[in-house]
Amino acid sequence: MAVTPLYLITLRREARIESVFRIATLVSAWTVLLLLAGVIVTLIYGSLPALKAFHLDFLTRSKWNPVEDEFGALAPLYGTAVTSIIAMLIAVPLSFGIAVFLTETCPRWLRGPISTAIELLASIPSIVFGIWGLFFLAPILQRTVQPWLIEHWGPLPIIGKLFQGPPYGIGMLTAGLVLAFMVLPFITAVMREVFTMAPRSLKEAAYGMGATQWNVVWDVIVPWSRTGVIGGIMLGLGRALGETMAVTFVIGNAHRISTSILAPGTTISAAIANEFTEAVGDLYTSSLIALGLLLFVLTFVVIASARLMLMRLERGGVKRA
């Protein structure tokens, strides 16, 4: 009776383990796709009554009146875009500065505490940010910042329309500020990691040629890590677009469009969170689900655009090489 060599037994066992591993990873990947497909189908099916009733007017009208069954997504869509833009205009420069400081100029003994503080900031629940924004940030803005903006920037041509009206305290500017603090740790963490991975030889060569620290950061580190930087920015933008509770606390939850960023408004996620439990009637519920579908599509477009931009940058880098 022939005895199977030990190495053959080991190879067969490894082959079985490899087969199980491949099947498990394949099932995991298909599970994600099936869940995504289920979400899409559910949103589309739930949105059909509203889409059939309003057609494309649902995207272009701002009226939202549950009593008359008149619904439009323009005001929540506008508020989502404005608050996200404000958040990114504030968070991206701050994140860039913090990441550069941590990787290039920060003393070693201080680097750890600051990095830990940023990570702790990312772990704070969104509802805590909302409470902080409502009871701490909004009163400060109402008493000091917004009156100053109204007095000094309100009379300016063109951009003055953004800073007119009474100082409510809450509004789109407040929501944008809260969102900026929420997405800042995510963008900072990604930028810090990609800046850290920049080859030391490139930086030393630039310093050897007489470059200043700013030249090294802007002309060496940023071009080398731009793919990761854009990825971090898009990660923060995706978080800002879908944030719910923190924005609900401080935006005012008014279905209207105003040129002033000091005025109350609403976002898609805030409107859904505020009204879904009290929605009466199929058309009202369907309109809220349609808002969810719109947010899903908007987020998908942002992520897809970022992916296409990264692919173009990578191809451009290969051509330059």
* Cβ atoms of 241 and 295 closer than 8 Å: yes
DSSP type of residue 321: -
From the candidate CATH numbers 3.60.150.10, 3.20.20.70, 2.120.10.80, 1.10.3720.10, the one assigned to the domain spanning 57-320: 1.10.3720.10
Per-residue confidence (pLDDT) for residue 318, from 0 to 100: 42
Q: Structure pTM?
A: 0.87
Q: What is the CA radius of gyration of the chain?
A: 25
Domain boundaries, the chain: 57-320
pLDDT by residue, tens only, the chain of 321 residues: 455 677 677 777 888 888 889 999 999 999 999 999 999 999 999 999 998 988 888 888 888 888 888 898 999 999 999 999 999 999 999 999 999 998 888 888 888 888 888 888 888 888 999 999 999 999 999 999 999 999 989 888 888 889 988 889 899 999 999 999 999 999 998 898 888 888 888 888 888 888 888 888 888 888 888 888 888 898 889 889 888 889 999 998 888 898 999 999 999 999 998 888 888 888 999 999 999 999 999 988 888 888 787 777 767 654 443
Positive or negative, the CA dihedral 57, 63, 65, 68 is negative
